[in-house]
Structure 1
């Protein structure tokens, strides 16, 4: 089941499966979101309760081991509709028999989408409904068309950061975080885009100075992404001609290559006390 939001200037379609955003169109009706083609079968999955991979795809808690595949299970669960309106909707996922087989914690994940004249806001609320600490990560993974409109080569596009980003970046090996950082490909506050940039998987900023980025060419449509509550940023595509670009605000990353401990000790996770909530959000602006 899907639900479409429409402000008259921007429309967004969300489906109950994974609470996944599956369409974003501007006032002219141009589709900006990747339409889950053969190169990658998703649009904008929600990464929860992990971002990336755990070592051996295993979660350890109190001496027990649970299977947990890359990016967690939320993207493959059906959410419940709490509210559906013309310009906003909210969906909920709570722990259940299926989730507890992989993640032995009580939680509620609420996702709210809202549109106005130029923005799509995506808000997350993670609530600990249990009686022990809730360890979790969460990430957005929206994939935009690359190029955004026909007629321009991929290399015409770049990402402009709100601040200069001189810090080294992180890369993955086998889906896990490499120990050593690498020199950033960002020049000042600008990242030139090319397929070769992703030969080594995602570009990961583990502590970006910026809180917004603009993805555009020198003409045509543009996407601005702003975030709050997220601490890391992933930028990813496939280096084989795949016509999409993922701009991913994260709270947490894949496990470091040398980490094989208890999930509560995993670097970068949130630790939410019983009865408490954590709020995170990002905003897509269409220009």
Structure 2
């Protein structure tokens, strides 16, 4: 496992029907998703935000004090973990799918003391991109882990009307309060009223003045994003219990982020396994995570 500049990492392109996708071996990060000639993803402009769709592993969000605790020891770990900064092996490929693989090494074990395999498979059909993730524990003891997706879609979408016409529609009513991130990136203790009206979240920059909207227990496992006509995007996340929605106010993207884990709460001092959304994988066992991005040509 090694770090690399994004320009040095292999880019793999896949296609099926009208959809094409390009994925970088650096971070197994989706770089582009196109419907015909229409770009749907943010371009990673480093003057605004260099990300496009980073993979979050083995933590999602910020850690209290910049470290986590495990069996009486503390380990430093950067926000969103290390996988997004690592070069994956291209383990399999076909014209419409590719499998990226990351395994542990001395550098990873210094901050995450486990033998692991992280497989990220991208598969295109004629109407959707499926991202299937498998995390396998190769250690002798139980391995706690979190995982998250962070895809950034253009806001506004091409041909879908003005920026203020865009909304995210949930598959179920979402009346529960949201969690808010403080200036230190940690989850504040008190919930805040949801801006979702019934099932519809009308997008506006002011929603993100305090960072991401954190749905720590959403009723929905699918949302639809679009504007007034044009293409629309449906993000499905049946295996992911949390959801984040984020942009930098004024930027040309919105991130719809299925998560299995969230940032630490302020003052959290528990063990890694006690983190919200963490899974504990037994020795020799695996855990699956996943997301689908469905694309419709008509809004």
TM range (shorter): over 0.9
Show the counterpart of 1:216.
226
CA distance in 2 between partners of 1:163 and 1:268 (Å): 21
Are residues 1:22 and 2:38 paired? no
CA-CA distance at 1:8 after TM superposition: 2.7
TM-score (structure 1 length as normaliser): 0.97
Verify the 8 A CA contact 2:161 2:228 in the aligned structure 1. Answer: no
How far did 1:151 drift?
7.6
Compared with structure 1, are the counterparts of its residues 14 and 185 closer, same or farther at alpha carbon in structure 2 (3 Å cutoff)?
A: same
Q: Is the 8 A contact 1:66 1:102 kept in 2?
A: yes
SS of 1:221's equivalent? strand
SS at match of 2:91: strand
For normalisation by structure 2, the TM-score amounts to 0.93
- Which runs of 5 or more structure 1 residues have no equivalent in the other structure? none
Conserved in 2, the CA contact under 8 Å of 1:81 and 1:92? yes
Equivalent residues of 2:133, 2:288 under 8 A apart = yes
Q: 1:270 aligns with which of 258, 268, 279?
A: 279
User: 2:218 & 2:151 partners in 1: Cα distance?
Assistant: 18
Native 8 Å contact 1:6 1:12 kept in 2? yes
Work out whether 1:126 is the aligned partner of 2:148.
Answer: no
- Measured in 2, the distance between the counterparts of 1:200 and 1:119 equals 32
Q: How does 1:62-77 map to 2 (within 5 A)?
A: 62-77=71-86
Q: How does 1:132-171 map onto structure 2 within 5 Å? A: 132-149=141-158, 152-171=161-180
Aligned to 1:34: 42
Q: 1:194: which partner in 2?
A: 204
Aligned-pair distance for 1:4? 0.4
Could you say which residue in structure 1 is the equivalent of 2:192? 182
Aligned length: 285
Q: What residue is the counterpart of 2:108 in the other structure?
A: 99
Does the alignment pair 1:43 with 2:52?
A: yes
Q: Deviations over 1:3-58 (max 9, x none)?
A: 1001131000011000100000002x111000101210011000000000111111
Matched, 1:228 2:246: no
Tell me the equivalent position of 1:114.
123
In the aligned structure 2, how far is the partner of 1:254 from the partner of 1:264? 13
Deviation at 1:64, TM superposition (A): 2.5
- 1:76-96 C-alpha deviation (Å, 9 max, x unpaired): 000011101100010111111
Q: Note closer, same or farther for the CA distance 1:180–1:132 as it changes in structure 2 (3 Å cut).
A: same
